[in-house]
Structure 1
Amino acid sequence: MSLMEHLRELRTRLFRACIAILVGTIVAWFIAEPVLNFIQQPYCDLMASKAIQQSANHALPDGYKCPFVQLGVTDVLVLKLKLSLWLGLILAGPIWLYQLWAFIAPGLHRHERRWAYLFGGLAGPLFAAGAYLSFVVVSEGLIFLLNMTGPDISTTLEITRYVDFVTGMMLVFGLAFEFPLGVMLANIAGIVTGRKLLGWWRFAVFTTFVFAAIATPTADPFGMTALALALSALYFAAVGFALFNDRRRGRNRPTYANLDDDEISSLDDYVPEPVGAATSVGGYDPIDAPTSVDAPTPVERPRSLDSRYDDIT
C-alpha cells in the first residue's frame, strides 16, 4: 500500500472507532446514575455511620441524604457527561481496539502477533485489578482521613471534586498495574535478562514505594503501602516470567554448555580426500604454470646536490 492508502485506511479506522465510542457514550448515559451512586457509596456509608453515632436513638434521621454539595449550576450534568464518556470508552473498547489492531497487525510478524495477543489479554485484567484496588484504598483512606476531623468540624464534600478524586485514583492504580508488562516486553526484546531483573529487586521495591508515595493522592499510609506491595508482587511475577522465557530460549547458556570439560572434538568421521591432477572444469582448461618474473633493474647511483638543484632551489 502507498502512503496515501495507509492514511485513508487510518482515517476509516478512526472514523469507525469514533462512531463506536459515540454510541457507547449514548448507551452509558442511561447507566451513569447507578455508576455515580456506586462511586459515592464509600463516602455515603461513612457519613451515614457518623450520623448514626451522633443521633440519640442510634438511627438515621428522617430525610437523611448523603452530604454532597454542588457549587455550580451545571456541575452534575457535566459530571454525568464525563462518566458517560469514560463508560462509553469501556463499552466500545472491543470495537476501537479491534480497529487499532487491524491497522497495526499487517505490519507484524507471526511471533509478534502472538506476543501482542498475550499482552492484550493481560492489559485489561491488570487495569481492572488496579482500579478495584484503588476503590478499596479510597474506602479505607476516607475512614482514616475523615476520622481525623474533630467533632466541631462539619464535613461536606463537593461532588465533582470527589468523583474526580476517585476516578483519578482508579486511573493511577490501573496504569501502575501495567508496569510488569513493560518489564516483560524488555525481556522479550532481549534488552534485559531475568537474572539482571532478579538482581535489581531491592532497587525495584524501593522505586515502587517512592512511586506509590508520589502517585497516591491520599496522605494515609494505607494506600501507599497497598499500591507498593501490589507493584512489588507484580514485579516478581514479571521476573519469574523473564527467567522462564530465558530458560526456554536458551539464554545465559554458552554454546559449549552441553560438553564435558575433558571432551575433545571427534575426528573419527573425517576421511581426507586425495587431491588429483587438474582437469578441465566447466569447459575451462587447468591453470597454467606461473611464468618467471624479470630480474629487477639496478638502482641508479644518486647524483650530487649540485646536479640535482639549480641556483634558485
Structure 2
Amino acid sequence: MAEGKRRRLAWLRPPEAGPGGTMSLGDHLRELRYRLIVSVLAIGLGSLIAAIWYDALYQVMLRPYTLAVQMLAESNPNLDPTTVITGVTTPLILAMKVCVVAGMVLSSPVWLYQVWAFIVPALLAKEKRYAIGFLSAAIPLFLLGVLIGYYIMPQGISVLLAFTPSSVPVTNLIDVNDFLQLTLQLMVVFGIGFLIPVVVVGLNLVGVLRASQLGKIRTYVIFGIFVFGAAATPSTDPFSMLALSIPMSLLYLAAEVFCRVHDRRKAKVAVPADA
C-alpha cells in the first residue's frame, strides 16, 4: 500500500537524475513541467496575498504618475494631464495585472530556486552551497531591478509628456490601464535584466561557461545589452534605457571578474591533483 501511495504522489516530486546529473529527454520535460507548476502555484499564492492589499498597491503604483505631474507643474504648467479608466472590464483586468506582478515579487525566492534547480538538476553535496549563493545574489538583484524600474518611471513620464505642444491648451488623457501596464512591464524587465549576470556566474560555477569565453564576447555582449535596453524598455525614453543598460553592463563586468577568480582557483586546485 505504501508503494502504491508513493506512485500516486510521484508527480509531486521532480524526476531523479542519474549518475552525473544525466537525464533522458522525457525526464527533462517532466522536470520542466514540475518546475513550472511549482512556480505558477507560488505566483498564484503570492497574487492572492497581494489582492488583500490591492488598494494600497494601487496607490503605490500610481505614485510615479503623481510625481511626474508635480515635475510637469514646475517645468510646464500649461499641461493638464488627467487619468481615466475606459471600459467595463478594465478595473478587473487592472487589478489582476497588479496582483500578478506583486505575486511574482513576493514569490521570487520560490521561482528563482526552480530556475536554478532546472539549470542544475543534480549537484554534488559540496556544490549545493552554490544554490544558496545563487539565491542570495539573485533575490536582492531582482528586487533592486524592480525598484529601479519603479523609481525612474516619473522621470520617463515627464519627459514623454513634455513633448505635448504648449502653444494650444491640451488635456492629456492618460489611460490608467495603459499607464500601469507600462509601469509593471518596466519593473519586470528591470528585474529580469538584473538576473542575467547571476545566471552567467551560475553557469560558470557548474562548468558550462569559462571566463576566457566571457572576455572574448565582452564587446558584443555590452552592445547587445544596450540594444536590449532600447528594445525592452516600453517607455522608449533614453533615461529608462540607460538606467537598465549601464547597471547590466557593470554587473556583467563584475560577473566576468568573479568568473576569472573562480577559474584561477579551480586551476590551482587541479594542478596538485594532477601531480
Q: TM-score, normalised by structure 1?
A: 0.66
Instruction: Confirm whether residue 148 of structure 1 aligns to residue 170 of structure 2.
Output: no
AA in 1 matched with 2:163: M
Match of 1:239 among 256, 259, 265: 256
Structure 1 portions without partners, runs of 5+ = 57-64, 259-313
Q: What is the distance in 1 between the residues matched to 2:207 and 2:35?
A: 32
CA contact (8 A) 2:83 2:176 kept: yes
Question: Which has the larger Rg?
Answer: 1
Aligned match of 1:68: 83
Rate the CA distance shift 1:189–1:233 in 2: closer, same or farther, 3 A.
same
Instruction: After TM superposition, list the pairs within 5 Å mapping 1:172-183 onto structure 2.
Output: 172-183=189-200
Find the residue that maps to 1:173 and give its secondary structure. Answer: helix
CA contact (8 A) 2:142 2:191 kept: yes
Instruction: After TM superposition, list the pairs within 5 Å mapping 1:121-136 onto structure 2.
Output: 121-136=136-151
**CA offset at residue 203 of structure 1?**
1.7
CA contact (8 A) 2:68 2:155 kept: no
Structure 2 portions without partners, runs of 5+ = 15-32
Aligned match of 1:6: 10
Q: Deviations over 1:115-154 (max 9, x none)?
A: 1111122111111111112123322111211111112332
Percent pairwise identity? 31
Match of 2:94 among 64, 79, 88: 79
**CA offset at residue 211 of structure 1?**
1.2
Aligned match of 2:64: 42
AA in 1 matched with 2:55: E
**CA offset at residue 45 of structure 1?**
2.6
Q: What is the distance in 2 between the residues matched to 1:105 and 1:194?
A: 19
Rate the CA distance shift 1:102–1:77 in 2: closer, same or farther, 3 A.
same
AA in 1 matched with 2:11: L
Q: What is the distance in 2 between the residues matched to 1:167 and 1:29?
A: 16
Higher percent of residues as helix? 2
Which shifted more, 184-193 or 210-219?
Answer: 184-193
Instruction: After TM superposition, list the pairs within 5 Å mapping 1:298-313 onto structure 2.
Output: none
Match of 2:154 among 123, 135, 139: 139
CA contact (8 A) 2:85 2:175 kept: yes
Q: Greater relative contact order: 1 or 2 (C-alpha under 8 angstroms, separation 6 or more)?
A: 2
Q: Deviations over 1:256-278 (max 9, x none)?
A: x99xxxxxxxxxxxxxxxxxxxx
Q: What is the distance in 2 between the residues matched to 1:147 and 1:170?
A: 22
Task: Kindly tell me the number of residue pairs found equivalent between the two proteins.
Answer: 249
CA contact (8 A) 1:48 1:66 kept: no
Q: What is the distance in 1 between the residues matched to 2:83 and 2:271?
A: 66
Q: What is the distance in 2 between the residues matched to 1:186 and 1:13?
A: 19
Aligned match of 2:185: 168
Aligned match of 2:232: 215
* Coordinate RMSD, CA, aligned: 3.9
**CA offset at residue 238 of structure 1?**
0.4
Q: What is the distance in 2 between the residues matched to 1:185 and 1:130?
A: 19
Find the residue that maps to 1:86 and give its secondary structure. Answer: helix
AA in 2 matched with 1:228: S
